[in-house]
Amino acid sequence: MKRIVRGGLLAALVLGGACAVWLWGGLDRPYKGYEGAEQFVEIPPGTGPVSIGRRLKDAGVIRDELSFRSALALSGSGRRLQAGEYRFDRPMTVRDVVSKIARGDVYLRVITFREGLTIRQMADLFETKGFGPASDFIEAGRNARLIHGIDPEARDLEGYLFPDTYALPRQTNAAQLVDRMIASFEKALTPAVREQAAARGLGVRQLVTLSSIVEKETGKAEERPLVAAVYSNRLRIGMGLQCDPTVIYALERAGRYTGDLTREDLRFDSPYNTYRYAGLPPGPIAAPGRASLEAAANPPSVPYLYFVSRNDGTHAFASSLEEHNRNVFEYQIKPFR
């Protein structure tokens, strides 16, 4: 009998050891039990380790829940598992799965809005990147209530959707993205910028409108303060802004812009046409970045009233019409004769 008991104990020990070896080896054995190239697993906030293991098992990310609990115990990460959506696109060991969730390596999609885009252009990018229909973004961009605290006159969010790179969960909708863009704008509109603008007689709406014009006129960082100075000087002396981008914006709103600005276009009747109407247009014509906001709020003290393109991305600035005409001849007429 003793011999049988000892034999049974020995067999149990051997079997237990074999199971331990199998389990230990399983922690480092890559596994992929789902079909297709990728699998997403959503872990809601407050989900415990047991439920997480079940979700991973059901999704085919891990072979069994026991190995997950074992890897979790060995890692000491039980209290550090983070909520979010995770993407799995290759066989992974259960240790690696635990590590991924403990790091909070959630799946995010990136979208970049460059400076100078309109809501319509942002909406097209939103759709192109696969986040949803452009119409959803346009609709979210009409929610002017989001900025009535700083611009009670706003009828939409043109100019207030801050251009930046946004890392977003896969299911982010247009309204949620717009909320983030407004928050980023409010962060960029610092108290110092608002105070500088107010000292020049500019409210938030006027500041953002002027900044949007600066943004559209030059892509050169070093020129933004000079362009802001030109338009600030014109506003100060009551001189027309005569800004091409405002006319283009007016034509785009009317569905009449063909890609080329003609003399006839400059006569188009719109409050955004700064060739016909003095002062700033009714509102922003695009989304200005931080540098344009700062330039418009505090332009340098220079005498410039004119600038013309050198056809290389830069501009020649002038203080008098005579000097400006010479620059026009040098850069716009002479090279094409």
Residue type, 204: V
Residues 195 and 287 in one domain: yes
Given the DSSP bridges, would you call strands 165-169 and 306-309 parallel, antiparallel or unpaired?
unpaired
In a domain, 316, yes or no: no
Q: Report the alpha-carbon distance of residue 327 to residue 230 in Å, rounded.
A: 16
- Predicted pLDDT of residue 298: 97
* SS3 track for 225-255: HHHHHHHHHHHHHCCCCCCHHHHHHHHHHCC
Say yes or no: 137 and 101 in one domain. Answer: no
Q: Do the beta carbons of residue 282 and residue 271 sit within 8 Å?
A: yes
Domain boundary at 188, 222, 249, which? 188
- The DSSP symbol for 147 reads G
Length of the chain: 337
Return d(Cα 216, Cα 207) in angstroms, integer: 14
Within this chain, do residues 156 and 203 fall inside the same structural domain, yes or no?
Answer: no
Number of domains observed in the structure of the chain: 3
Q: Is residue 323 part of a domain?
A: no
In terms of DSSP H, where are the helices of 104-219?
119-128, 134-140, 174-188, 191-199, 204-217
Q: Does residue 154 sit in helix, strand or coil? A: coil
The pLDDT score that the predictor gives to residue 20 is: 47
Residue bearing tokens 């700083």:
150
Identity of the residue numbered 262: T
Q: Which of 48, 80, 106 is the last residue of a domain?
A: 106
Looking at the fold, whether 220 and 267 belong to one and the same domain comes out as: yes
Tens digit of pLDDT per residue, the chain (337 long)? 555 545 445 444 444 443 444 445 568 899 999 999 999 999 999 999 999 999 999 999 999 999 999 999 998 887 889 999 999 999 999 999 999 999 999 999 999 999 999 999 999 999 999 999 999 999 999 999 999 999 999 999 999 999 999 999 988 999 999 999 999 999 999 999 999 999 999 999 999 999 999 999 998 999 999 999 999 999 999 999 999 999 999 999 999 999 899 999 999 999 999 999 999 999 999 999 999 999 999 999 999 999 999 999 899 999 999 999 999 999 998 888 7
Domain interval for residue 140: 109-188
Cβ 315 vs Cβ 241: under 8 Å: no
Answer yes or no: do 88 and 130 share one domain.
no
Instruction: List the one residue out of 159, 111, 155 whose CA is nearest residue 132.
Output: 111
Last residue of a domain, one of 188, 213, 241: 188
Which amino acid would we find at residue 295? Answer: A
Give the pLDDT confidence score for residue 6 in this predicted structure. 53
Same domain assignment for residues 176 and 155? yes
- Distance between CA atoms of residues 205 and 279, nearest Å: 13
40 found inside a domain: yes
